[in-house]
Structure 1
Amino acid sequence: MKKVVITIAVIVFVLIAALIIVPVLFKGPLLKKVKTTINEQVNAEVEFTDFNLSLLRSFPNVMVELEGLTVIGRDQFAGDTLVAIQSLATDISLSDLFGGEDFTIQSLRLTDAHVHLKANASGQVNWDIAKSSSVEEETASSEESGMAISLQEIKVRDLSMTYADEASAMVLGLLNTNLDASGKLDGTITHFDLDGEVGEFKFTYDSVDYVANTVLKVRSQLMADYDKMNFEFGETTLHLNELPLDLSGRFEMPSDSMYFDLQFKQPQSDFETLLAMVPQSYQSYLEDIKTTGQAGFEGSVKGWFYDELYPAISTHIYVNNATLNYAGSPEKVEKITLDGKIEKPEGGLDLLTVNVSKAHAQIRENPVDARFSLSHPMSDPAFDASFSGKIDFTRLAEIIPMDSIQLQGLLDGKLSVKGRMSAIEKENYEQISSDGAFNFKDFKVKTPAMTQVFEINSGQLKVNNKAITLSSLDAKTGQSDFHLNGQLSNYLPYFLMDKTLKGTFKLQSDYMDFNELANLMVTEDTVTTTVANDTVYAFQVPAKLDLVFSSAIKRATFDRMDIRNIEGTIEVKDQMLALKKLNMDMLQGQLTVDGSYKSTEENKPFFDFNMRINKVQIPAAYQSFGMVQRYVPIAARSQGLLSTELKFNGQLTEQLKIIPSSLDGRGFFNTQDLQILDSPTFDQIKNFIKKEKLKNVRIDDFTAYFNFEDGNIKLKPFKTKIADQDVSIHGNLTVEQMLDLKMDFQVNREDLTTDINNALGFLPGSQNIQIIPITVDIAGNLTSPKVSLDLSDAKKQVQEEVKKSTKKELENAVKNVGDQLKKLFN
């Protein structure tokens, strides 16, 4: 008995050792075989990070796994990844392993796989990577490889596959796919129980998403004949989102082509079942509803799929006399009718047709009817669509929950459009048939993207193939009112081809609040903290617009300015807002503006303006213009009138403040009746000029010219009178607000202080001195500059007059000259 136990233990030990050692011994030969087989058969860069063998995981079979598998194209697809798989595993029998050459794939397990199929504009495809060879070579290779497929288990986790066709601008995607299939082998035939889900099915054509956020599920009994590559569906249910469809039929893959013969049909003919087709992201809107009426969805796919040959497609969706009513709502949508078909015979995708021959719904006495057809979608889309009806948005909002969107008012109108895309591309608009008219009444809309309610008291639109004409629009948002009429042209290319929308309008308004309008649309940069109501933020001028507005606005508010009688032209083009000869009354004066405002991605707009301001009150200008506050702070203590002309450009912050270092330009300004009150600067020269002259300093009218260079100001010399004294002024102000200003005074002797006049009286020849030159240097930070006096010219003048005196005059005054000179110049 003891020997038996020892023998069994030895056998168990040997088996366990074999399970561990055998994969190690055979990993090298199999790795070599796999790499050799792949490299011989494909024209691509194939790599994998690891290759694993295990007898323990799939005993009595051998588990073979490739990790980090990638297939990257060559030639015209060089660098494009065709396949990227985290893990690809299968099982082969021990006999196949020890047999050396032949082995059969019995299972397939795929984890985290991405497949990118691509056809370029020339029709070449990136999955055609098999090396070309003769039929005899292919047969010999097949015989030599000894590799057979007899799948009984398939597991797929997180597979995403996309197909992109550059020539037709089409993208097809099956994303986040999971699949489980297990079966029983009967000769070459396997009977599968299949359970799968596509997390998102999407179809995009010409950058337009026709199918998105759609979930596909399938539960099926599938028969697979690997010998003939035939696959037939037994009892099968397909879910399109939550819509169940019975699926039957078969498909074949005899070579590199495929043949389909599939049928699907909604099992229950009711409207509620059909609503399950709505994407999951919108299913919450269908909670707590009651429906009546018949509805259905059915179709078939039949024919060959090879290169540009696609199978025939036939789908039909219908709704008959249905109603929709939300629980607790007093209103309902009734008489809902729909008949739509998507069809294509066997052949190219350009044979596809879409035809919604009838669509109808109504709320009480307000009906809506529509139809739509599309053909030749790939070569030259031909479309024919119409809409007519009345929509009472107030009642509609009571029937259908709209989250945070608020809609009220009545829309009554009709529109029909018929033509081909080629006519639009060639701008042959006479070949497009378009006609319609819409009336708005008591219309209100408010969305989370808007900071204010937008109201249309009344409005009328007329549409033809060339233009949309707005004959009258009486609208309001916030405190601003609009009376607008005009015309939009090029609208078909704008909506269908992303071309530029053109238009000309006349805008009239009794009052516009530009502070509100500049922040009408909510952006990611919108400040969420509490801010002042008059805060203004930079706004983005929309792209693809070429609009002209002739404006006549009686009153407006911008920043803190009250503006009257605005007249001029506003143009919107190339994401730029241009003002042309825009005249207005403001700050008790007049302003004329020519210039532009151009948006940037960083929301720091560029500007280029020519402004002419005529006789505005200086205190009001200081309160209203940040530029005056920055560069002329002394205006806060000033009274009088200011006129100026500025031609300057630069960049603005997000708060519409000028970035000083960006400023370039030139200009001039002049003043009338200028008076500076209680200036600390002039107070510092009271030792030379009588104090009563310096308390409220009067400055004669003058004109001064200056330049902006990178935010620095260079003030050219100009002359005026300050406190009745002739003065010449020039200087510079840096972008860091460092001031260097010189004022060369010619001070009248009678306006000098009593002490200075007494001192001069002792000097011989002083009777000839009626003007004293004094230079005032103002330097340092603009907000608190230092004032210093330069009396060198005054000293020279006194010395020259003294020298002219007679010997007797000098002898009489010699005793007092030294003391008085010290008093005068110290």
Structure 2
Amino acid sequence: MVKKILKITGVSLLVIVVALAATPFLFKNKIKELVAKSINENVDAKVAFEDVGLSLFKNFPNASVTIDKLSIINKAPFEGDTLFYAGEVNLKMSVKELFKGEGEAMNIEGFSSKDGLVNIIFNKDGIGNFDIALKDDKPEDESKSKPFAMSIQKYSVENLRFRYTDEKSKIKMVIDSLNHEGTGDLAADNLDLKTKSTAKLSLDMDKMNYMNNVALSLDAVLGIDMKNQKYTFRNNKALINQLPLEFDGFIQMVEKGQVYDLKFKTPTSDFKNFLGLIPAAYAGNINTVKTTGEFRVDGTVKGNLTDTTIPKFNIAIASNNASFQYPDLPKSVQNIVIDTKIINETGLMNDTYVNLDKLSFRIDQDVFNAKANIRNISENALVNAELKGVINLANVTKAYPVKLDKPLSGILKADVVTKFDMKSVETSQYQNIQNSGNIALSGFNYTGPEMAKPVQISQAVVAFNPNQIRLNQLDLKTGKSDVHLTGTLDNFYGFVFRNQILKANFNMNSNQFLVSDFMTPSAPTTEGSAKKEAVKIPAFLDCAVTAKVNTVVYDNLTLKDVSGKMIIRDEAVTLQNLKTSIFDGVIGVDGVVSTKGKVPTFKMNLGLNKVDIAKSFTQLDMLKSIAPIAGVIDGKLNSTIKLSGNLDAMEMTPDLKTISGDLFGQLLSTRVNAQNSQLLSSLASNVKFIDVNKLNLNDVKVALAFDNGRVNVKPIDLKYQDVKVTVGGTHGFDQSMNYNLKFDVPAKYLGPEVGKLLSKLTPAEQGKLENVPVNATMTGSFKSPKVTTDMKQAVTNVTTQLVNYQKNKLINQGTSALGNLLGGTKGNTSTPKDTTKTATPKPDVKSAAESAIRGLLGGKKKKEEPKPQTP
């Protein structure tokens, strides 16, 4: 019997489970059609969702309808803007609702959403993007049922981001990480709705931030009168950061806006309430803090919020002779006085004013006082403020739990009065700004992760004048570097309050400046870590720095007597008349580096005056790529270099493939080291008539042009003893090359075979011979060169030339001799001399002629045949 019961029970449960699992498939299409119909009949927008699901398990015994990735996208005039998005929307209803017939509304008992966005926008014409309800002038058919009916008993919102933007009033509000839940019968005309809410609030007005991620929490019971749209605060508890507040009163929706009648206050007067205003991350655990005195916040908000008015309000924040001390810190903050009022008495936004009548506190013997007021807040804010006091920075971390890697030190003294209006700031009407006083900082020491080395400021003095803020003195040391700075800030208020460009002009002096002292080492990149961001020159700076530094050390370079001007403007750095002694010479630089475009660029003009060739072409990668002559040529160089190209966005180093420009230079006091160059060694082995080490490069002028990673060397004329050399060609930054050399060579250097022929000529005859052109090509790379010459052809050509010369010479000699032989006495009418009186007999003319002819024809002289004997 028991087995039978268990069997029946098991089968029944199985049937139920199968039914519960199968039911969603049976009703899924019906639900999907109802969702689409409900949305399309009510909104004029682009609506999309990924899927609609139905489950009987999620809220058993109720059914759950899940809509995945629901989005509502605006049409014109907000084309493409997202009005609403939810990663998931869940609707809760009774199972019996699924079996209702066509035309019967399904009652929704609850809903929830996750990972949502609500984006409310008012454009400059005051039109809102949320008005997407379909316009229909026809009277509503009461007999026609809606797809869904609302009988909400419980709802929840998880991780919602609410964004509000009013382009006309320049207000931007963001409620982030909103979690909210409510319980109550929303179908009733009158109900008590129990709610719990947490969120983070940020608020900007006219580009000025008033709240940034302020933590909000509210547990409240709201009495709701649905008919009159009136919401009354009953039992409630609110937290702003950690400041507790209680509300009393109501908010009511009316045709022209809302009606407010609210009061709020701190539930107690404990000074811990003040510490609660500070975010928990900075205030620490305030429950253990010892406090004296009181702190109160009281406020009223009463009136109508319409298109032209706001509710009147009066908010008072006050404390008198209070103190606090954290239990684990040695010092306390005493004599705290706060007297602040935020008031609007007319309901007009511009009539709101803020009075900070007094803010005062003391740490040890140091007293700090401040007061300020702001009026005409929405049209042209008028600001009047005074600061006066002394703060020993070392005491700050001893009295308040500021988390620093290293404690601060130094004395800050302030005595400043300022009075200005925002329009004068915006329009740079500095004559309307009244500033006076100064701020001084001495003995300041700071160590932090954003600094490569600890920073010591021995003295800094800032003076406030009507037209500008003047830095009278800044003496700073960090690592082995010292900096002494003076200058002015001309648009400080516009920069602080209106995000305008900060204009500045500074003079800097330094004995020694190590760039590494100001650059934090890059952390090793690990998988999943944030990508390194591209370097960007700030767009908000318009700054000029005139500098003079005795020694600058950058990586392996040591620059002496550095002077010049640097201008930071329009996302670019311009160098003007920058000069430095380096590489035993002087280098001058003018140029621009810009990060304004997608790819950073540079354009430079360099002047090199008597710089050491070996040092400069070894230590500067760019010169090394343009002309790899380091270690090959010793001496000095005068040069002008013009170049431009792109920079690596991360490292700000030149992208060699994009560099273009030209170089004009003159070599001075040079010496060639062929043994350090595979190219010259290979050339020397192929061209024997030149000792490459003895090449004279003094005063040689070179002209190079480079583009697309290749360097074009215009023909250069050299001289080696009595050999003229012309060199020209190209090479790449990848060290590949293609050069042509032409040697204008005297024949005597072309080997022993040619020398033997030359020995038959007289010196005068040799001098009449033309030099022989010898051509060479150099290809391959500088480290693996391939040298070819037409030396054999040149030797052949000159040998042929010399043979022909000898033949012509002999022919001329023979012709001359033959002429003398045949016509030697013709026309001779002179009286013959007495031959007996001649000391040396003349050679036989006939014999000489015969010898010349035989020599010309290359024949050998025949031996005289013996004359036959007489019998």
- Aligned counterpart, 1:786: 786
632, 640, 650: which is aligned to 2:635?
A: 640
Provide the secondary structure at the position in 2 that maps to 1:483. strand
1:611-630 superposed matches below 5 A = 611-630=606-625
Q: In structure 1, give the amino acid aligned to 2:373.
A: S
Provide the secondary structure at the position in 1 that maps to 2:495. helix
Q: In structure 2, give the amino acid aligned to 1:111.
A: S
1:694-773 superposed matches below 5 A = 694-695=692-693, 697-722=695-720, 725-747=723-745, 752=749, 755=752, 759-761=756-758, 768-769=765-766, 773=773
1:559-578 superposed matches below 5 A = 559-578=555-574
Task: Give the CA deviation at 1:256.
Answer: 6.9
- In the alignment, the residues of structure 1 paired with residue 104 and residue 369 of structure 2 have an alpha-carbon distance, to the nearest angstrom, of 66
Q: In structure 2, give the amino acid aligned to 1:633.
A: P
Tell me the number of residue pairs that the alignment of Structure 1 and Structure 2 aligns: 792
- Aligned counterpart, 1:114: 117
Q: In structure 1, give the amino acid aligned to 2:548.
A: A
Task: Map Cα deviations across residues 635-654 of structure 1 (whole Å, 9 max, x no partner).
Answer: 31322221111122123445
Q: In structure 1, give the amino acid aligned to 2:743.
A: F
- Aligned counterpart, 1:250: 250
526, 542, 545: which is aligned to 2:541?
A: 545
- Aligned counterpart, 1:470: 471
Task: Give the CA deviation at 1:97.
Answer: 8.9
- TM-score normalised by structure 1 residue count: 0.83
Task: Give the CA deviation at 1:780.
Answer: 1.5
| Distance change >3 Å, CA 561–CA 343, structure 1 → 2 | same
- Aligned counterpart, 2:129: 126
- Aligned counterpart, 2:591: 595
- Aligned counterpart, 1:823: none
- In the alignment, the residues of structure 2 paired with residue 154 and residue 687 of structure 1 have an alpha-carbon distance, to the nearest angstrom, of 93
Structure 1: gaps spanning 5 or more residues:
530-536, 816-826
Task: Give the CA deviation at 1:62.
Answer: 7.9
- Aligned counterpart, 2:394: 394
- In the alignment, the residues of structure 1 paired with residue 80 and residue 534 of structure 2 have an alpha-carbon distance, to the nearest angstrom, of 42
Task: Map Cα deviations across residues 604-632 of structure 1 (whole Å, 9 max, x no partner).
Answer: 74221211111122222233322332233
- Aligned counterpart, 1:266: 266
CA contact (8 A) 2:59 2:92 kept: no
- Aligned counterpart, 1:534: none
Task: Give the CA deviation at 1:90.
Answer: 5.2
Task: Give the CA deviation at 1:559.
Answer: 3.7
Q: Is 1:368 aligned to 2:371, yes or no?
A: no
Task: Map Cα deviations across residues 251-285 of structure 1 (whole Å, 9 max, x no partner).
Answer: 33355743232222211211223322322443447
- Aligned counterpart, 1:87: 89
Q: Once superposed, what is the RMSD of the aligned Cα atoms?
A: 4.3
CA contact (8 A) 1:677 1:697 kept: no
- In the alignment, the residues of structure 2 paired with residue 583 and residue 737 of structure 1 have an alpha-carbon distance, to the nearest angstrom, of 31
Provide the secondary structure at the position in 1 that maps to 2:631. helix
- In the alignment, the residues of structure 1 paired with residue 20 and residue 709 of structure 2 have an alpha-carbon distance, to the nearest angstrom, of 81
- Aligned counterpart, 1:382: 382
Q: In structure 2, give the amino acid aligned to 1:614.
A: N
Task: Give the CA deviation at 1:677.
Answer: 2.0
Q: Is 1:222 aligned to 2:218, yes or no?
A: no
| Distance change >3 Å, CA 611–CA 27, structure 1 → 2 | closer
Provide the secondary structure at the position in 2 that maps to 1:607. strand
Task: Give the CA deviation at 1:554.
Answer: 2.2
- In the alignment, the residues of structure 1 paired with residue 778 and residue 18 of structure 2 have an alpha-carbon distance, to the nearest angstrom, of 97
Task: Give the CA deviation at 1:674.
Answer: 1.1
| Distance change >3 Å, CA 282–CA 21, structure 1 → 2 | same
- In the alignment, the residues of structure 2 paired with residue 808 and residue 313 of structure 1 have an alpha-carbon distance, to the nearest angstrom, of 124
Task: Map Cα deviations across residues 645-666 of structure 1 (whole Å, 9 max, x no partner).
Answer: 1122123445554322212112
Q: Is 1:325 aligned to 2:328, yes or no?
A: no
- TM-score normalised by structure 2 residue count: 0.80
Q: Is 1:212 aligned to 2:215, yes or no?
A: no
- In the alignment, the residues of structure 2 paired with residue 522 and residue 213 of structure 1 have an alpha-carbon distance, to the nearest angstrom, of 29
| Distance change >3 Å, CA 191–CA 713, structure 1 → 2 | closer
CA contact (8 A) 1:777 1:790 kept: no
Provide the secondary structure at the position in 1 that maps to 2:629. helix
| Distance change >3 Å, CA 161–CA 767, structure 1 → 2 | same
- In the alignment, the residues of structure 2 paired with residue 759 and residue 288 of structure 1 have an alpha-carbon distance, to the nearest angstrom, of 111
Task: Map Cα deviations across residues 566-601 of structure 1 (whole Å, 9 max, x no partner).
Answer: 233222222222222222222222222222222367
Task: Map Cα deviations across residues 341-391 of structure 1 (whole Å, 9 max, x no partner).
Answer: 333357454443333222122322222222333334433333223322222
CA contact (8 A) 2:150 2:187 kept: no
Task: Give the CA deviation at 1:111.
Answer: 1.5
- In the alignment, the residues of structure 2 paired with residue 630 and residue 20 of structure 1 have an alpha-carbon distance, to the nearest angstrom, of 73
Task: Give the CA deviation at 1:307.
Answer: 4.0
- Aligned counterpart, 1:237: 237
In terms of mean alpha carbon deviation, does 643-652 or 629-638 score higher? 629-638
Task: Give the CA deviation at 1:550.
Answer: 2.5
Task: Give the CA deviation at 1:122.
Answer: 0.8
Task: Give the CA deviation at 1:684.
Answer: 4.2
- In the alignment, the residues of structure 1 paired with residue 663 and residue 774 of structure 2 have an alpha-carbon distance, to the nearest angstrom, of 29
Q: In structure 2, give the amino acid aligned to 1:591.
A: I
- Aligned counterpart, 1:774: 774
Larger proportion of strand: 1
Q: In structure 1, give the amino acid aligned to 2:612.
A: Q
In terms of mean alpha carbon deviation, does 469-478 or 154-163 score higher? 154-163
CA contact (8 A) 2:388 2:414 kept: yes
Task: Map Cα deviations across residues 139-190 of structure 1 (whole Å, 9 max, x no partner).
Answer: x759987998665433333343222211122122333333333347997432
| Distance change >3 Å, CA 65–CA 312, structure 1 → 2 | farther
Task: Map Cα deviations across residues 686-707 of structure 1 (whole Å, 9 max, x no partner).
Answer: 5687799445554343112222
- Aligned counterpart, 2:646: 651
Structure 2: gaps spanning 5 or more residues:
526-532, 812-853, 859-871
Task: Give the CA deviation at 1:763.
Answer: 6.2
Task: Give the CA deviation at 1:778.
Answer: 2.4
Task: Map Cα deviations across residues 20-61 of structure 1 (whole Å, 9 max, x no partner).
Answer: 999999999998787666655544445566667889988998
Q: What is the aligned-residue identity percentage?
A: 25
1:685-700 superposed matches below 5 A = 693-695=691-693, 697-700=695-698
| Distance change >3 Å, CA 189–CA 571, structure 1 → 2 | closer
- In the alignment, the residues of structure 2 paired with residue 411 and residue 76 of structure 1 have an alpha-carbon distance, to the nearest angstrom, of 54
| Distance change >3 Å, CA 545–CA 230, structure 1 → 2 | closer
CA contact (8 A) 2:84 2:117 kept: yes
In terms of mean alpha carbon deviation, does 373-382 or 578-587 score higher? 373-382
- In the alignment, the residues of structure 1 paired with residue 387 and residue 219 of structure 2 have an alpha-carbon distance, to the nearest angstrom, of 40
- In the alignment, the residues of structure 1 paired with residue 17 and residue 584 of structure 2 have an alpha-carbon distance, to the nearest angstrom, of 101
| Distance change >3 Å, CA 129–CA 594, structure 1 → 2 | closer
1:323-362 superposed matches below 5 A = 323-345=323-345, 347-362=347-362
CA contact (8 A) 2:758 2:766 kept: no
Task: Give the CA deviation at 1:237.
Answer: 1.4
- In the alignment, the residues of structure 1 paired with residue 751 and residue 166 of structure 2 have an alpha-carbon distance, to the nearest angstrom, of 96
CA contact (8 A) 2:544 2:565 kept: yes
- The structure that has the greater radius of gyration is 2
570, 577, 581: which is aligned to 1:581?
A: 577
- Aligned counterpart, 1:312: 312
- In the alignment, the residues of structure 1 paired with residue 366 and residue 174 of structure 2 have an alpha-carbon distance, to the nearest angstrom, of 40
